[in-house]
Structure 1
Amino acid sequence: MGQRIGILGGTFDPIHFGHLRAAVEVAETLQLNELKLIPSARPPHRDTPQVSAAQRLAMVRAATVGVSGLSVDDRELLRETPSWTIDTLESLRRELPAPTQLFLLLGWDAFCGLPEWQRWEELLNHCHLVVLQRPDADAEAPEVLRDLIAARSVTGPQLLDGPGGKIAFVWQTPLAISATQIRQLLASGRSARFLLPDSVLSYIHAHRLYRAPN
């Protein structure tokens, strides 16, 4: 049996308990050997993050200290091109033994936006897609994805066999936390405690991040 490795990318601007709880739940559900958190340096489909890639990487590292099964991967910060997921998957595949199972974690909104991604049709050549669903998600997948779901989805994550090629949907605990909410609280001088790890909050305060312009 090969290793089972999960991938959770994002801007993490900043990382918070919503990200971390989803990561831990999926790692347990899929019985992963490792779940890589991969900060996006130059997100092609989102606004430019408010703080630098190096600072976001430092916050992710602070958040995962002592958390078994979670690791931090900085490969997207080392590239000078946009942070295309297909490039990240290809680089991982070059490093890992062929039998390694890769699981790319996506929220429902990100999954619905896949047709806008670079070479999105090739993703399943390298990994399984694990779509994290919340009870409050009400968007409908575009038709091209409905066809893909019909062809590639399995009824449960336990059926994701082989190195890649399939799609599974996993329910996650809904935590009403967003990075936007945290940034707004910090910009207005209000407390963001208990929305993100204390280690991350300490880093934010030490580096005076997310403060409103003077």
Structure 2
Amino acid sequence: MMQIGILGGTFDPPHMGHLIIAEEVKNALQLDEIWFIPSYDPPHKNKAMIDANHRINMLQLAIQGNDHFKLNTLEIDRSGISYTVDTIKELKEEYPGYTFYFIIGADMVEYLPKWKHVDELVKLMNFVGVERPGFQVETSYPLLEVDIPVFDISSSFIRERLRNNQTVTYLIPERVNTYIKERRLYEES
């Protein structure tokens, strides 16, 4: 039976924090793979700044070379707002023998009571909480905790640096940085 970690988000752009979280959770829980599932429209934050095709391309570049990291575009393919409960139901239908672990940062742990059908969701898969500075990994819902090295970075921080023509070297994979520069993504318009 395959054990799969799911890391969702807009990945706008994907950064080293995403990769560190994925690798640490995979190793800590001895998972077979981590599936990166970019959202088309997240229900809990603003729309992505960059087109879905660019985000998919950047994510493919970011995970390239790690055989345990896979890209799954089901939420992009579905388009519109994607709720985790719908995604997990679809995955369980398509992969009936798999066990899924949904990875969330501490900021999302605090938001769990507001998730659509969260009581149903906790019966379908396992939540994995990872620390994020300024937030607590505490909830009444079942949650596995994984300690990860603190790497306080966000996609919004990366976008701000890019808009201000500041370096993002070592914050995002070099291939992603090259992709962004070549296409002039995130520049002030």
Q: TM-score, normalised to structure 2's length?
A: 0.94
User: Structure 2: which 5+ runs fail to align?
Assistant: none
Aligned-pair CA distance for 1:193: 1.1
Q: Does 1:108 align with 2:106?
A: yes
Q: Equivalent residue of 1:92, what SS?
A: helix
Q: Distance in 2 between matches of 1:138 and 1:97?
A: 34
Q: Distance in 2 between matches of 1:77 and 1:101?
A: 22
Distance in 1 of aligned mates of 2:85 and 2:54: 24
Q: In the aligned structure 2, how far is the partner of 1:176 from the partner of 1:128? A: 24
**CA distance in structure 2 between the aligned counterparts of 1:138 and 1:43, rounded to whole angstroms:** 20
Aligned-partner Cα distance in 2 for 1:185–1:80: 29
Query: C-alpha offsets along residues 68-120 of structure 1, whole Å, 9 cap, x if unaligned?
Result: 2000000001113311111110010001133x211110111111111222212
What is the match of residue 161 of structure 1?
none
Q: Distance in 1 between matches of 2:109 and 2:45?
A: 14
Calculate the aligned-residue CA RMSD, in Å.
1.5
C-alpha separation in 2, matches of 1:202 and 1:71? 21
SS state at 1:63 partner: helix
**1:140/1:129 Cα in 2 relative to 1: closer, same or farther (>3 Å)?**
closer
Q: Report the CA distance between 1:140 and its aligned residue.
A: 7.5
Give aligned pairs, total. Answer: 189
Contact 2:4–2:32 under 8 Å retained in 1? yes
2:49 — aligned with what? 50
1:195 aligns with 2:175: no
Partner of 1:207: 183
- 2:11 paired residue number: 12
Q: 1 CA distance for matches of 2:78 and 2:8?
A: 15
Moved over 2 A (4+): 136-141
What's the CA shift for 1:182?
1.1
Q: Hey, what does 2:30 align to over in structure 1? A: 31
Please state how far the C-alpha of 1:49 moved relative to its aligned partner.
1.2
- One-letter amino acid matched to 2:162: L
- Cα–Cα, structure 1 residues 117 and 137, in superposed 2: closer, same or farther, change >3 Å? same
The answer to whether the aligner puts 1:121 opposite 2:119 as a matched pair is yes
- Give the distance between the partners of 1:172 and 1:80, measured in 2 at CA: 32
- Which one-letter code corresponds to 1:173 in the other structure? P
- Measured after TM superposition, the shift of residue 59 of structure 1 is 0.6
Q: 1:25 to 1:212 in 2, by over 3 A?
A: same
Structure-2 residue corresponding to 1:157: none
Structure 1 runs not aligned, ≥5 long: 153-166
